[in-house]
Amino acid sequence: MPLPLTRKARTMTDNLMLKGLQELHAQLRGETTSFDKWLKECDKVVSRKLGGIGLHDLPDAAWRDYFEDGLSPIDAADCAYDDQWFDEIPSELWR
């Protein structure tokens, strides 16, 4: 049987759910979301590291998970390299 959540945990969970719903609603309205802006920053980081090769030129990574985990675009790009691209991109190119 799961333990009951504290008021603070319930509030944090509710806030995360609300943020996700707000993002989804904005996407459905065709608006640019904070995830979209964050992902563009990730694309810039990757493109700088790889001399113009961007996210859409590489295998998929867990971008939504990285975003929801609160990673910065730089940290997310490094995680994507470690998780998805390590075997495909030589480490000397990933600076």
Q: Using one digit for the tens of pLDDT, what is the confidence trace for 44-65?
A: 999 999 999 999 999 999 999 9
Tallying the residues shown for the chain, one arrives at 95
Q: 16 with 42, same domain?
A: no
The arithmetic mean of pLDDT across residues 25-32, rounded, is: 62
Range of the domain at 65: 32-95
Query: Domain check: are 23 and 39 in the same one?
Result: no
Q: 44 with 10, same domain?
A: no
DSSP designation for 86 = T
For residues 87 and 53, membership in a common domain is answered with: yes
The torsion angle over the Cα atoms of residues 59, 64, 69 and 73, rounded to 10 degrees, is 60
Please answer whether residues 70 and 89 qualify as being in contact, where contact means their C-beta atoms are separated by less than 8 angstroms: no
Beta carbons of 59 and 85 less than 8 angstroms apart: yes
Average pLDDT over residues 58-83: 95
Residues 55 and 90 in one domain: yes
- Domain count along the chain: 2
Are residue 60 and residue 36 in the same domain, yes or no?
yes
Task: Return the percentage of the chain with pLDDT > 90, whole number.
Answer: 55
Whole-structure pTM value: 0.67
